[in-house]
Structure 1
Amino acid sequence: MAEGRRLKGRDPLGLRRALADRLLPALVAAMALLAALAIAGADGAGRLAERWQQGEAGQLLLQLPRDAAPEPVITRLAALPGVTSVTAVPDERLRQLLAPWLGEVPSLPLPRMLAITLPAGADHQPLLEAVQAIPGAQLELRSEAVRLAMRLADGLRSLSLAMLGLIGLVGAALVAVATRAGIAARRETIVILHELGARDADIAGRFARRLGWLCFLGALGGLAIALPALWFLAMQALPVVLARDAQIGDLPWPLLALVPPAAAVIGWLTALITLRAWLRRLP
């Protein structure tokens, strides 16, 4: 279509009336709420994976018989290549760890426990060979458990990212439906302006800006609802997962702040493409 004239006036297409219902912002708010939860899930899974990966370089536990002398074992194991430190776990600490399951049992005989610290990626073979030479010793190897935990965290992160993609597609579909509803409501006005020489880019741009703004407002409302829920979840989960209280910086603020602009871009682009495609079919 040849270059036409620009539309004049603040709302020559009557879009404030045609696209004034609150259904689209409400639906976008719901999608933004789900997106915020998915972002928090992906971020939390990433942090959990990082913690577990660091835990692989943490302490292994070696159990000795109660009558075994720990000092010679500590000296022998601390001299092994790759072993950072070997320390005895106090009985008091063991009783604290067992208290949730066994209660207070001060008379219960406990085995000797040694905490062995190795760096990430250290070769366990020298340690395994040394432990096999210690009568009655049992070593807790956590590498397989850590690998399974890492796989779980990666799966949760992938699922959260897939949810984000699906939310974006559903949001785009909602905007496309709203755009077509707006076209149906203002069809005569659009056709008349098109025949009078109004530019397709100007007509589509007005639709796109209006729907982009509605999507931004809806996503802003959904994010406002999501933040208290995310903070409540953080307060419940972090003491269990990271063994500390939740802090305000634990929420993924930069990613959450992108939700309203991303919703606006999706709304603007979808409306622009939908209306431009419809206008190209006009004679």
Structure 2
Amino acid sequence: MADIPRLRHLKGRDPLGLRRALADRLLPALVGAMALLAALGLAGAQGAGRLAERWQAGASGQLLLQLPSDADAGAIAERLAQLPGTVEAALVPEERLRQLMAPWLGEVPNLPLPRMVAITLRPDADQTSFLEVVQDLPGAQLETQGTAIQQALRLAEVLQALSVAMLAVVGLVGAALVTVATRSGIAARRETILILHELGARDSDIARRFARRLAQLCAMGALGGAVVAVPALWALADQAIPVVLAREATAADLPWGSLLALPLVAAGIGWLTAWITLRVWLRRL
């Protein structure tokens, strides 16, 4: 009898019968589904963050200068290109402007159009001297992409927030599943637990047995969910990245670190939830 309370020394054994009470079927499948959703949420958060960075970096120095139709736009573009901090100042061809205006104005070859200069500045460029030159140009109007970019960045932030909220919900649902499974295991092994408890088995040893079993089941399920998520995420990346980042998708675009971390995080949630649930129940005895 003296060895019964020391459950932690019964290595390789299952004195509580947890392999039967906590079967490796339903819970891993449910955790796998949660892991798949978590992987999609992580990919969404990562994708939104990269998209926001690209928008911000690519448009921070993009300006469009509108000049009167009779202005010497070529000379002005050359002058602006020589200013410190200017990467490029290129005259937008009139044919391109007419193509852009065709959906609204139709084909109007005789319509005079303003001259447009597309300007790219370095992100760290001091725009003071540039703005002074522009202000001295008669009839010049400077347009930035700030408003559109700010709206796009807000959209990316909303997508990131939704992804984080999705991850939080997945974590809470996973913890709830583990709580239900733990209580089911307690109900199935109630008499055994009570006997061991009366014989003096430590609450921490009993809770550790439950927590270890639930952590194993959660890790198994999350690993399966992560494996299923790989082809799903690749299909999404293969369609989205050429549109968003203007290049072909590669294996490096997948969130491998997050996928590898899913089983560990799931095991941690399972272990902690089962530990707390069982300790609370044992304290009521």
Same fold flag (TM > 0.5): yes
- 1:5 matched to 2:16? The reply is no
Q: 1:229 Cα deviation (Å)?
A: 1.2
Q: 1:41 Cα deviation (Å)?
A: 0.8
Q: Tell me the number of residue pairs that the alignment of Structure 1 and Structure 2 aligns.
A: 278
1:178 corresponds to: 181
Within-5 A mapping of 1:261-280: 261-280=264-283
Question: Identity over the aligned pairs, expressed in percent?
Answer: 65
Deviation readout 1:195-252 (Å, 9 max, x if unpaired): 2222222211111111111111111111122111111111111111111111110112
Name structure 2 gaps, 5 residues minimum.
none
Which of 222, 228, 231 matches 2:231?
228
Which of 150, 154, 172 matches 2:153?
150
Change (3 A) 1:235 1:65: farther
Within-5 A mapping of 1:131-150: 131=134, 133-134=136-137, 137-150=140-153
- 1:37 matched to 2:40? The reply is yes
1:24·1:214 contact (CA, 8 Å) conserved in 2?
yes
Name structure 1 gaps, 5 residues minimum.
none
Choose 20-29 or 58-67, whichever is displaced more.
58-67
Within-5 A mapping of 1:139-218: 139-218=142-221
Q: CA RMSD in A?
A: 3.0
CA distance in 2, matches of 1:215, 1:188: 25
- 1:48 matched to 2:33? The reply is no
- 1:250 matched to 2:279? The reply is no
TM-score, scaled relative to structure 2? 0.84
2:84·2:125 contact (CA, 8 Å) conserved in 1?
no
Deviation readout 1:108-159 (Å, 9 max, x if unpaired): 9986543311122545565455445545655431122222222221222122
Change (3 A) 1:131 1:122: same
1:33·1:225 contact (CA, 8 Å) conserved in 2?
yes
TM-score, scaled relative to structure 1? 0.85
SS in 2 for 1:197: coil
Change (3 A) 1:71 1:150: same
Change (3 A) 1:157 1:165: same
Q: 1:84 Cα deviation (Å)?
A: 3.3
